[in-house]
Amino acid sequence: MLSQTLEYTCKRGTSNPPRYADGRCKECKRKKNRRQHLKDPAKHRHRSAIFYAANSEKYRGLARLQRQTRRGELNAYCAKRRAKKLRATPIWANNEKVRELYLIAKQKGQHVDHIIPLNNPSVMRAALGSQLQLLSPNENLKKSNHFNP
Ligand SMILES: [Zn+2]
């Protein structure tokens, strides 16, 4: 593609930033969204909901296509995550307790959270004995890879 062979500088002055297919700089778009949200959260939420309703099928289709065409990358990601999970499981972990926690989470509609995220650098230094807790799905998704010791 021609656009990828040319030097591109975005509005904020970053050269060759990651961009959407339509050419917009991802970081600039993210910052613009943030500004609009802070200016009028209710209005921004409303507009986002309208956008989502109008475009969710398109983006779900794209995501599906990407899962199919990039199967290898996805498999590699999943394998890496499984390995990290295994590494974060101490040999003295009580499998029955862990199983119980997942069953309780299922019943309560909660998530089992790795207190220290699997992808956080401090995971290898941590004592991993009681590394699981119950969180609401909302809290867990918000937490993502963050960890405050
Ligand atoms: Zn930019």
Q: How far is the CA of 19 from the centre of ligand 1 (A)?
A: 8
Q: Of 1-15, 28-42, 130-144, where does mean pLDDT reach its minimum?
A: 1-15
| Ligand 1 center–CA 17 separation, angstroms | 6
Residue 118's SS3 state is coil
d(C-alpha 114, C-alpha 27), whole Å = 29
| pLDDT at res. 46 | 95
Query: How many whole angstroms from 29 Cα to the centroid of ligand 1?
Result: 7
User: How far, in Å, is the centroid of ligand 1 from the Cα of 82?
Assistant: 35
Please give the distance, rounded to the nearest whole angstrom, from the Cα atom of residue 36 to the centre of ligand 1: 16
Q: Which of 90, 95, 133, 138 is closest to 115 using CA atoms?
A: 133
In the reported structure, the alpha carbon of residue 11 is separated from the centroid of ligand 1 by a whole-number distance in angstroms of 6
Instruction: Compute the average pLDDT of residues 117-123.
Output: 67
Question: What pLDDT, in 10s, does the model give residues 39-76?
Answer: 999 999 999 999 999 999 998 998 899 888 988 888 88
The rounded mean pLDDT for the chain is: 82
Beta-bridged to residue 44, according to DSSP, are none
Q: What distance in angstroms lies between residue 122's CA and the mean position of ligand 1's atoms? A: 31
Q: For residue 119, is pLDDT > 90? A: no
The answer on pLDDT for 18 being more than 50 is yes
Report whether 124 contacts 90 (CB < 8 A): no
User: In 3D, which of 72, 56, 114, 60 has the Cα closest to residue 89?
Assistant: 114
